[in-house]
Each structure stands twice: as structure tokens, then as C-alpha cells.
Homo-oligomer: A and B are copies of this chain.
């Protein structure tokens, strides 16, 4: 009797905080499982299992896709929105809790882990001090205090479920990702949005051997530690990374355009300065004209997107748009992920 080891077996019981938590074999196996689920369906692999979703911030796709996925797998997702019918939560150690927060993660997380088989957390950065927030203290607290797997549904630094969906979408549209040109392009937006999505997008692309080009106005550099990981990944996977500051030429030869709005970390916490810098680049809006400069590339965006602010109608409504497929893939990759972390993926040889 021969069995091949299933790389997903090793994911059982682990956290999923960033795609770099996964080995190449695990990442590959996860995307294969998602592809299989999408094409052929699945058994109720999570029958009786409960996912506790803790939202510190709003959501549409994340909430709906996790809840749908758990149900389709025979399980159930509990939706807990902090500060909206749920007590506010403190995460700092040693605090005298005489403020808004009625409960500490040190109690809330272990308790939820007694009710649930998996926990997932969404916690955006608060826009005050990047040196504090880049450590992802809330997500880290969940990881530290939970006795069951913790899934990152978008933190200060990462949105790895989005990144998995991005990778699946890219694989579906390109025969191979090796040496294909992946362009992450900054877009305008009325607010300084977080960098979790661009971080995770380039981290994912850097695992796939792509030639990554990041185009943004000066002052919108991504976190240096993230960039260092991206460069290291690219080197290992046979890809490359470059940063450019010209909008129009960024699209030349692109196989994938990943449009994304984000705020300046250089002016993090200084809203006025950040806004002034952002306002200088109001021409960074992706339209059909830009898409026509690509090498027949397709257009990705994590959604939600502000039409005619970040992307023009003629970009979103053109034949190159993959944004709805990309959002659908959230469902499939998350189902594969949930099954793997719950230990229901690795029981038998594939």
C-alpha cells in the first residue's frame, strides 16, 4: 500500500496569518484543492464544525464568502462584530482597563476557542502609529491566546485570503505564471487606505515567479520589511521586483494589472500631510486607455472599488476585468483553507 504524503496534512491546527506561513508545497496543494472544490464540489468535510468570525471592521465579500463556505461544507460560521452588539476588546498587556474596552483578548479569545473549531479575525490598522500597528498586535493576540487555528481576514499588514484568491485567479487565466509581468499600480482614493492588500498581492506574486512591477507616486513606498520578503521570495521563485513612479508606462507589457489604492506610510498618522501628498496624484485612475497599453493583460482589484475615483467605468466594465471572478475565488480558496486548517484535508492519500 503506497501513499503520497499530502502537504495539507501539515496545515492541520496551524494559524494562517500570511501566505508566507505556507511552504511552496502547501501553497500549491491549497490552490489545487480550491480548484478541485470549484470544479467538482466536495463532501460536507466540516460537518459539525464552527468558525467564529470576529470583525473589528466592515466587510461584504469576507463575511459572505466565509459564511457561505462554512455552510456549504456542512459547518457554521458565527458572525461577531466588535463594538456592534459585542463588547469592545483590549489587546495591550498590563493595561488598567478603565476605558472603552470591557474585555481583554486574554479572556475573549480562549473562551471563543472553547466554542469554535476555528477563529478568523479582521482588524484594520487605526492610522495612528505605524511602528505599533505593523506588529499587528490584535491579530498576534488572537494567535497567542487561541487554542484553535486563527485565520487572518485582513490585518494591518496582510490580507492573505485575498492573496490566495488572487493567485487562483491568475492561474486560471495564465497557463504559467513564470516570468509573467505582474503590475501593482497605485490608484487615487479619498482616504488613506491600508496597505494589507498591496502587501499580500505582491507577496503572492513573488511566490509565483512573476516579474513584479510596483508603480506608485514617490512617498507611497510599501513597508520595507514586506518589500524585503517580496525580494527574497522573488529571488527564490525565479521572479523579479522593480519599483517605478510613472503611471502611464506602468501598464506596458503587463500580463496582470493589479490596481489598488493605499495611503502613504511616510506620513502615517499625519492626515493633513498625507492627504496633501495624495491630492497631487489625482491622475492615477485606471481606465480603458491604460488597459489597452498592456500585453492583453487582465485587470484585478480586491473590491470594494470606488468607480470613477480609483478605476473608471470603462476599465471595470471592459472585457479584461477579472474582479468578479477574483471575488468568487475567495469562496473556493477559503473553503480549501478551512478544510486544511481543521485537519479534514489530509486524512487520505490523494
Segment 70-96 of A: residues with Cβ below 8 Å from B: 71-72, 76, 78-81, 84-87, 90, 93-96
CB of A226 closer than 8 Å to a CB of B: no
Determine if B308 and A97 form an interchain contact, defined as CB atoms under 8 angstroms apart: yes
Check A67–B78 contact: CB distance below 8 A.
yes
Q: Which residues of B contact A304 (CB under 8 A)?
A: 87, 102-103, 107-108
CB contacts (< 8 Å) of A93 on chain B: these are 313
Contact of A52 among B64, B78, B85, B87 (CB under 8 A): B64
Residue A327 at the chain B interface, CB threshold 8 Å = yes
Stretch of A19-27, A29-37, A112-120, A215-223 that contacts chain B:
A112-120
Closest CB of chain B to A93's CB: distance in Å? 8
B97 touches A306 (CB 8 A): yes
State which of B76, B85, B106 has its C-beta within 8 Å of the C-beta of A63: B85
Q: Kindly list chain B residues whose C-beta atoms are within 8 Å of the C-beta of A102.
A: 304, 306
Residues of B within 8 A of A67 (CB): 76, 78
A303 within 8 A of B: yes
How many Å lie between the Cα of A313 and that of B110 in the bound state? 16
A96 (CB) vs chain B CBs: closest residue: B308
CB distance from A187 to the nearest CB of B (A): 12
- Taking CB atoms, residues of chain B closer than 8 Å to A95 are 307-308
By a CB distance below 8 angstroms, the chain B residues around A59 are: 85-87
Residue from B64, B96, B108 in contact with A112 in the complex, judged by beta carbons closer than 8 Å: B64
Q: Smallest CB-CB separation from A303: which chain B residue?
A: B107
Q: In this assembly, does A232 line the interface, its C-beta being within 8 Å of a C-beta of chain B?
A: no
Alpha-carbon separation in the docked complex, A68 to B119 (Å) = 13
| C-alpha gap A305/B64 in the complex (Å) | 31
Q: Which residues of B contact A55 (CB under 8 A)?
A: 85
Distance A50 CA – B97 CA, assembled complex (angstroms) = 37
* Given A95-B308, A98-B309; A114-B48 close (CB under 8 Å): no
Partner of A309, one of B72, B97, B303, B316: B97
Task: Tell me if A213 counts as interface (CB < 8 A to partner B).
Answer: no
**With an 8 A cutoff between CB atoms, is A283 at the interface?**
no
Q: State how many angstroms separate the Cβ of A324 from the closest Cβ of chain B.
A: 5
Query: A276 at the A/B interface (Cβ < 8 Å)?
Result: no
| Complex Cα spacing A93 to B71, Å | 34
Q: Are A111 and B309 in contact (CB under 8 A)?
A: no
Decide: A111 and B327 in contact? CB cutoff 8 A: yes
In Å, the complex CA distance between A48 and B108 comes to: 30
Most buried by B among A61, A63, A85, A94: A85
- In the complex, whether A190 has a CB less than 8 A from a CB of chain B is yes
How distant is A66 from chain B, measured CB to nearest CB, in Å?
Answer: 10
Query: Can you name 27 A-B residue pairings with CB atoms under 8 Å?
Result: A50-B68, A50-B72, A55-B85, A60-B87, A63-B78, A63-B85, A63-B86, A68-B78, A68-B115, A79-B79, A84-B84, A90-B307, A97-B306, A97-B308, A97-B309, A98-B190, A101-B306, A102-B304, A102-B306, A104-B307, A106-B316, A107-B324, A108-B304, A111-B303, A111-B327, A114-B327, A115-B328
What 10 additional pairs, Cβ within 8 angstroms, besides A81-B85, A111-B327, A114-B327? A48-B72, A60-B103, A67-B76, A68-B76, A68-B115, A79-B79, A84-B85, A107-B304, A114-B324, A115-B328
